[in-house]
Structure 1
Amino acid sequence: MDSLLLLIGFICIIVGIFGSFLPALPGPGLSWLGLLFLYLTKVVPENYWVLAITFAITIAILILDYIIPAKGTKKFGGSKYGIWGTNIGLLVGLIFIPIPFGFVIGAFSGALLGELYYDNQDHKRALKAATGSILGFLASAFMKFVVCMIFLGTFIYVAWEYRYAFLE
């Protein structure tokens, strides 16, 4: 059972890393769940401090994930249409643009189209707002990615520390 929990935890962490870029997956939340599965094993002793601190960080990141892109868009004069366009463009870029960083191209294009839909007369404002939207998205994704990588490092460190107990 411990090996299964270890495997499920590792999968959650890896999916969480991908989720730091994909808006449909709660990256840090999944990565924290991976840590929780690790600490639920009988091999690893409970460490409520680690779980509580990482949970607090996860909640803070999930809240900031909604604030940062919106602030970036608003700071550059954008609207809700730009934010929605960013998220839709991100998904389209992931699916239909088969090049590395296609999601960035899709997110920027979606934000631009969303802003042009909102106000098709002011192209300069739409371009500025789309730039703000994509910068906010990238800042938020980078922040989530860093947290997920720290959770991965914690997972590997703790699992390695108790590696011999998992083999028994």
Structure 2
Amino acid sequence: MDLVLVLLGFICIIVGILGSFIPVLPGLSSSWVGLLLLYLTKAVENNYWVLGITFLLMVVITILDYVIPAKGTKKFGGSSYGVWGTNIGLLVGILAPIPFGFIIGPFVGALIGELLYDSTNHKRAFKAATGSLLGFLASSFVNFLFSVIYLGIFLVIVWQNRILLF
């Protein structure tokens, strides 16, 4: 049973890494479930500090995952229309059957939102949409970075307990 849990945990970690770039897949939360599955084995002693800290980081980063693109829009001079457009564009981009919709959606959503706010200032609308795109890319990078860190933690724990696990 321990091998099954380790294998499922590893799969969750890989899904988490992929999910940091593909919003349809669960990102960091999947990686955390991978760590949890590892700690559910009989061979690995429970460490509630590691689980608690990684859980707290996962919650904070997941919340920031939705806030950062909107803040990027605001930082680059966008209005609340651009922020709403970013969030709506992200949802539409995820659900739309177009390639890279999750990247295009927030950009186009912010652009449309800003053009609805002020249809005469195309330069400001484009700048706000660029801020949305940069915010999304920054958010994805943070998600990827922490997913890789969770993979490292997973591999270290497996290595330390390899005799009991295998």
Query: Letter of the aligned partner of 1:165 in structure 2?
Result: L
Partner of 1:145: 144
1:131 correspondence with 2:130: yes
- Counterpart for residue 81 of structure 1: 85
Q: 1:117 to 1:15 in 2, by over 3 A?
A: farther
Q: In 2, are the aligned partners of 1:9 and 1:35 still within 8 Å (CA)?
A: yes
Give the aligned partner of residue 60 of structure 1.
Answer: 60
**Structure 1 residues 135, 87: CA separation in 2 closer, same or farther (over 3 Å shift)?**
farther
Task: Name stretches of at least 5 consecutive residues in structure 1 with no aligned partner.
Answer: none
SS in 2 for 1:26: coil
**Under a length normalisation based on structure 2, what TM-score does the superposition of the two structures give?**
0.84
1:21 and 1:120 mapped to 2: Cα distance?
32
Helix, strand or coil at the partner of 1:16: helix
Gaps of 5+ in 2: none
Shift of 1:43: 0.9
Question: 1:158 is matched by which residue type in structure 2?
Answer: I
Structure 1 CA distance for aligned equivalents of residues 70 and 108 of structure 2: 17
Q: Which amino acid aligns with 1:30?
A: S
Residues 35-114 of structure 1 correspond to what in structure 2 (within 5 A)? 35-78=35-78, 79=82, 80-89=84-93, 92=96, 96-97=98-99, 104=103, 107-114=106-113
Cα distance between partner residues in 1 of 2:109 and 2:66: 18
| TM-score for the superposition, normalised by structure 1 | 0.83
Equivalenced residues, count:
162
Using the alignment, how far apart are the partners of 1:158 and 1:49 within structure 2?
Answer: 14
The letter of the residue matching 1:23 is P
- In structure 2, the CA distance between the partners of 1:40 and 1:28, relative to structure 1 (3 Å rule), is same
- Identical aligned pairs, as a percentage? 59
For residue 103 of structure 1, report the CA deviation from its aligned partner: 5.5
Distance 2:39 2:51 in 1: 8
Q: In 2, distance between residues paired with 1:157 and 1:110?
A: 42
CA RMSD of aligned residues (A): 2.2
Once the two structures are superposed, residues 81-136 of structure 1 have per-residue CA deviations (whole angstroms, 9 ceiling, x without a partner) of 133224434665xx544xxx785456534543454455443311220111010011
